[in-house]
Amino acid sequence: MNAGARLGLFGTGLVVAFGAAFGLAGVIVPAGAVSDWTKGAEVNEHAGHVESAAGADDAAGAAADDLTGLSLGLDGFAMSAVSAPASPGEPGELAFRIEDVAGTPVTDYTTAHEKELHLIVVRSDGSQFRHVHPALDEATGTWSLPWEWTEAGTYRVFADFTPAGADAASLTLTRTVQVAGAFAPVAPEPTRVAQVGGYTVSVDGDLEAGAVGDLTFTVTRDGRPVTSLEPYLGAFGHLVALRDGDLAYLHVHAAGDEPAAEETSGPEIAFAAEAPTAGRYLLYLDFQVDGTVHTAEFVLDAAHARGVIGTEGDPHDDGH
């Protein structure tokens, strides 16, 4: 079945918004904390100067209210400190717990995208991205998996999960881990084409702050379209998007019904996208072929919304 014909557009959300059909991560920053944090910060500066001062304040406030992936606690749940190797090349284990308000480990979860918890690990410069699925020790409530760092730096560890319960919302909690050693940060530059595992993946479409647009990823190999994309985590494509600068996060899937296990698709995977603010965004697309998962990485700039006058404060704007 052709993916372009069967994938519908869906959703709104935080960093790049894609679909209520799969559930959006909840807001995890208290309004007061967001207000303090955003004074003079990038999220307000990216709003630009609009013709109405009240309109500018409303737009900035709406963007702040949508921030996700910036807190270790929300809705009565918290992520414990993360245990992990201290240096690159040191084999060990990465482990943590999700706890309730009483500090009791949480052991009951709702399966989402075929897993009870998705773990995203990425360095603060957007490099060294990993999407993995640790195992839960129900006796202790500890999530863990074998782990070894390849490079030093400051890393963000995101736990994306849904607690058990009919009305429970999906949550994304985060912790920071320091890995000792010298490293040279990577400056993310805009790119629409990625090479991974012998495949070429390109993305068409644009991001615009406050407006929904189309993003279509096309997978080819040796110049030929790949039509053998396999289901991975309940969809033909799985996308994580992070805002450069603060790594605000959203964990999403492609549109459309969940495919059957033997179904294939391609070469296109489509999303509806909306950036809450202008700025630079880091995109990581997972896709599976012949049982192997590949991750294609992209960097896109979201333009200011139509009607915005001026670009003061946008570090990626060249002034023209």
DSSP string, the chain: --HHHHPPP----SSS---TTT-PPPP-S-HHHHHHHHTTSHHHHTT-B-S-HHHHHHHHHHHHHT--S--SEETTEEEPPPB--SSTT--EEEEEEEEETTSPBP--B--BTTBSEEEEEEETTS-S-EEE-PEEETTTTEEEEEE--SS-EEEEEEEEE-BSSTTPPPEEEEEEEEE-S---------BSEEEETTEEEEEE--EEBTB-EEEEEEEEETTEE---BB-BTTBS-EEEEEETTT--EEEEE-SSSPPPTT--B-SEEEEEE-BSSSEEEEEEEEEEETTEEEEEEEEEEEEPPTT-B--TT-TT----
Residues shown for the chain: 320
Confidence of residue 108 (pLDDT cuts 50, 70, 90): very high
Please report, for the domain that includes residue 228, its CATH number: 2.60.40.1940
Rounded to the nearest integer, the mean pLDDT of the chain is 79
**Confidence check: pLDDT of 166 > 60:** yes
CA 268 to mean position of chain CA atoms: 20
Domain of 43 in residue numbering reads as 31-65
Average pLDDT over residues 225-244: 93
Range from 49-58, 175-184, 284-293 carrying the lowest mean pLDDT: 49-58
| Same domain (yes/no): 195, 232 | yes
Kindly report, residue by residue over 238-286, the tens digit of the pLDDT.
Answer: 889 899 999 987 654 567 788 999 999 999 998 877 787 889 999 999 9
| Same domain (yes/no): 15, 36 | no
| Same domain (yes/no): 37, 11 | no
> Does some domain include residue 89?
no
Average pLDDT over residues 221-228: 98
Number of domains in the chain: 2
Confidence of residue 126 (pLDDT cuts 50, 70, 90): very high
Rounded CA separation 252/221 (Å): 25
Range from 9-23, 59-73, 112-126, 148-162 carrying the lowest mean pLDDT: 9-23
> Does some domain include residue 207?
yes
Cα dist. 16→5, 9, 13, 68, 100 in Å?
22, 13, 7, 11, 29
**Confidence check: pLDDT of 198 > 60:** yes
β-partners of residue 144 are 95, 135
> Does some domain include residue 123?
no
> Does some domain include residue 263?
yes
**Confidence check: pLDDT of 140 > 50:** yes
**Res 253: pLDDT:** 55
pTM: 0.78
| Same domain (yes/no): 7, 61 | no
**Res 38: pLDDT:** 32
Residue with tokens 């068409």: 204
**Res 216: pLDDT:** 93
| Same domain (yes/no): 200, 252 | yes
> Does some domain include residue 221?
yes
**Res 307: pLDDT:** 56
Query: What burial class does residue 264 get, using C-beta atoms within 10 Å of its C-beta: 0-12 exposed, 13-18 middle, 19+ buried?
Result: middle
CB atoms within 10 A of CB 221: 15
**Confidence check: pLDDT of 37 > 70:** no
> Does some domain include residue 111?
no
> Does some domain include residue 18?
yes
60 against 292, higher pLDDT: 292
149 against 255, higher pLDDT: 149
Confidence of residue 66 (pLDDT cuts 50, 70, 90): low
Rounded CA separation 122/190 (Å): 18
Percent of the chain with pLDDT over 70: 72
> Does some domain include residue 296?
yes
Confidence of residue 68 (pLDDT cuts 50, 70, 90): confident
**Confidence check: pLDDT of 225 > 80:** yes
Cα dist. 229→3, 212, 256, 270, 297 in Å?
9, 26, 14, 13, 17
